[in-house]
Homo-oligomer: A and B are copies of this chain.
Amino acid sequence: MTISVSSRIKLAVKREDREATIIRVGDTLVGGEKIAVIAGPCSVESREQLMEAARSVKSAGASMLRGGAFKPRTLPYSFQGLGVEGLEILAEAREETGLPIVTEVISPADVEIVESYADVLQVGARNMQNYPLLRRVGRADKPVLLKRGLSSTIEEWLGAAEYVMDGGNGDVILCERGIRTFERLTRFTLDLAAVPLLKEVSHLPVVVDPSHGTGHRSLVAPMARAAVAAGADGLLIEVHPRPEEAKSDGAQSLKPGEFRSMMEGLGPVAQAVGRIL
């Protein structure tokens, strides 16, 4: 019995005449032999914080830098990100480190400005079914990192990818980041089986975010290893120079030294499954 998805999903699914999609971002490829590690803080909080994070993840071997300038927050009173100033800081970090930038866009109206800075446009879990946003990034020139919705089925997720691809942008990276379940000791339940399942039904690259997926710093490294062992093409890892001072997601952010250790432990696992880090 093989796994099959709705026949109405056309562009995101495997076909005999389609090769696995490999997406070029600067010097990095996502979906090839090398595991892409996208690391950095949840939010860009200041120039100092971001530059420090960027240098540390670069030196530990990250392939790209992540950092949010526009933040979707549960309450309007929480820190909402630095906006365009955050994008400028990200661009400066790219200039210094050479790392391509992944950052979130939360409104169709912001795509133009975000696209002028970012190398990859992230669509967050809460916006996975924000169809006007999906259509808009579908007309963008940059790859899209599409996070799975908190309670989206894999079919709905592929349906969201379909919106982006139908708009003309075939460079979609799927990102598993944990689904909402009854379990309370972890922030979400990281659905790693989605990785080999997607590899079976889709040609798109798949990355995993064990930081949001677990909500606990101590679980990030083992779940990063598990993600690579399951066949993930990359990882999204929150790293903050001083997590205890982070304006968001401190409990799940690695310190630079922890990130370095994680990378060291990851190499042998990548090799064990025929990949390189």
Contact = CB atoms under 8 A, between A and B. Distances in A.
Contacts of A153: 182-185
Interface stretch (A3-11, A14-22, A46-54): A3-11
Nearest to A1: B251
Nearest to A186: B193
Nearest to A128: B126
Given A196-B223, A230-B222, A107 B132 contact: yes
A64 interface: no
A64 to B, nearest CB: 23
Contacts of A10: 77
A129 B110 CA distance: 17
A156 B108 CA distance: 23
A154 interface: yes
Nearest to A183: B153
A250 B230 CA distance: 22
A276 interface: no
Contacts of A227: 226
Interface string A176-217: 000111111110011111111100100000000000011011
Interface stretch (A27-35, A83-91, A139-147, A159-167): A159-167
Copies held by the complex = 4
B229 A163 contact: no
A189 B197 contact: no
A74 interface: yes
Contacts of A226: 192, 226-227, 229-230
A225 B206 CA distance: 17
Residue of A131, A184, A214 with most partner-chain B CB within 10 A = A131
Interface residues of A, number: 75
B154 A132 contact: no
A243 to B, nearest CB: 9
A109 interface: yes
A73 interface: yes
Contacts of A265: 273
Nearest to A188: B193
A275 to B, nearest CB: 11
B223 A192 contact: yes
A116 interface: no
A132 B109 contact: yes
Which 9 pairs, one residue from A and one from B, show the smallest C-beta to C-beta distance? A151-B151, A268-B272, A229-B229, A107-B132, A196-B222, A226-B230, A126-B129, A225-B229, A226-B226
23 contacts: A3-B218, A8-B75, A72-B129, A73-B131, A74-B156, A75-B159, A109-B132, A110-B132, A127-B129, A151-B182, A153-B184, A155-B185, A179-B183, A181-B182, A189-B191, A200-B218, A200-B219, A222-B231, A223-B230, A225-B230, A226-B230, A228-B229, A229-B229
